Amino acid sequence: MENISIHKTAIVHPGAKLSSGVSVGPYSVIEGDVSLGDNVRVASHCVITGQTKIGKNCKIYTGAVVGSAPQDRKHSADDNVFLNIGENNTIREYVTINPGTAEGGGKTVIGNNNLIMAYAHVAHDCVIGNNCVMANAATLAGHVTLEDGAVIGGLSAVHQFVRLGRLSIVGGCSKVTQDVPPFAMVDGHPVKVLRTNAIGLKRSGISPETIALLKKAFKILFHSGYAKTNAIEKVVQTIEMTPEIEHLVFFAKTTKRGLC
C-alpha cells in the first residue's frame, strides 16, 4: 500500500482495507468492514460503513453515506448483508446507498462507470449495471434493477421491484411504477412510453438499421392497441430478430410488474 492520504480529522478503523492511492478527506469515517480499491477518493464528511466493497478509481463526494443499514423494518443489525460497488463510479454529494437485506438476497450491487448525482438514493437489494446515470434526487426503492446505460432524470422515483431496461431514459420528476422497456424514452406521473431513446441509441453505436427496426417494434408494442401477448407475437413474426429486438422481446415477456 502506497500513497494513502488520510486527513488528520478523519476516523479510519484499523480493520478497514485501503489500497494504494486512497485518500480520505476531513471528518470522514471509514468503518472496519469496508474495503476501498486503488485510488478511491473520499471527500469530507462522508461515512462509509457496513460490509462495503468499493472498486478502484471511484470518487465519493462530500456528505455521502455509503453502506448504512437498509431502511427495511425486517432488517436486523445482526444480518449478514453486503454492498458491492464496482470501478470508476462517481457518487456525488449526500448520496445514500444501502446494502441488501437477508430476505432479498443479501446484496446491493453497483457496476462500473456510473454517475450518481447529488441527493440520489439507492435502496436495499438494488442491482445497477454499467454506464448508468441517476440525476439529482432520483430515488430507487428496494429490489430495483437498472440495466446498462439506463438514465433517470432528477427528482424521479422508482417503485420497488421495477426494472429499467438497457439504454432507457426516464424524464425528470417522473413516477415509475412498472418496468421501463429497453431503448425507451418515458415520462409522466406515472410514466408512459413516448418513443425510442434515439439519442441514446446513436451515442451507443446502435446502427441506423437497428434503430429503424426498434421504432417499428415500439409502434406495435406500445401504440397499436394490441394486448401485450399479441403485440409480442406480432413483433416476432414481422420484425428481424437483431440482438436488440431479441432483448426487447425477452424483457417484455419476463416482466412481473407489467410494462409502463
Secondary structure (3-state) at 11: strand
Query: Nine-digit cell at 193?
Result: 412510453
Number of helices and strands in the chain (H, E): 4, 28
Please give the Cα distance from 49 to 68 (Å, whole number).
6
Q: Which helix (H) or strand (E) holds 208?
A: helix 208-223
Q: Please work out, in degrees rounded to the nearest 5, the angle formed at the alpha carbon of residue 96 by the alpha carbons of 143 and 160.
A: 20
Secondary structure (3-state) at 23: strand
Secondary structure (3-state) at 248: helix
Catalytic residue among 21, 86, 104, 125: 125
Note down pLDDT in tens along the chain; length 260 residues: 579 999 999 999 999 999 999 999 999 999 999 999 999 999 999 999 999 999 999 999 999 999 999 999 999 999 999 999 999 999 999 999 999 999 999 999 999 999 999 999 999 999 999 999 999 999 999 999 999 999 999 999 999 999 999 999 999 999 999 999 999 999 999 999 999 999 999 999 999 999 999 999 999 999 999 999 999 999 999 999 999 999 999 999 999 999 99
Provide the terminal-to-terminal Cα distance of the chain, rounded to the nearest Å: 49
The pLDDT value recorded for residue 2 is 75
13 is catalytic: no
The whole model's pTM is what? 0.97
CB distance 17 to 31 below 8 Å: no
The pLDDT value recorded for residue 1 is 54
The pLDDT value recorded for residue 247 is 98
Secondary structure (3-state) at 52: strand
The pLDDT value recorded for residue 62 is 98
Burial 131-157 (b: 16+ CB within 10 A, else e): bbbbbbbbbbbbbbbbbbbbbbbbebb
Other CB atoms within 10 Å distance of the CB of residue 26: 13
Catalytic residue among 50, 63, 142, 149: 142
125: left (phi over 0), alpha (psi -120 to 50) or beta: left
Secondary structure (3-state) at 245: helix
Please give the Cα distance from 252 to 181 (Å, whole number).
7
Catalytic residue among 45, 75, 121, 124: 124
153 is catalytic: no
Q: Please name each of the domains of the chain with its CATH number.
A: 5-143 (2.160.10.10), 202-253 (1.20.1180.10)
142 is catalytic: yes
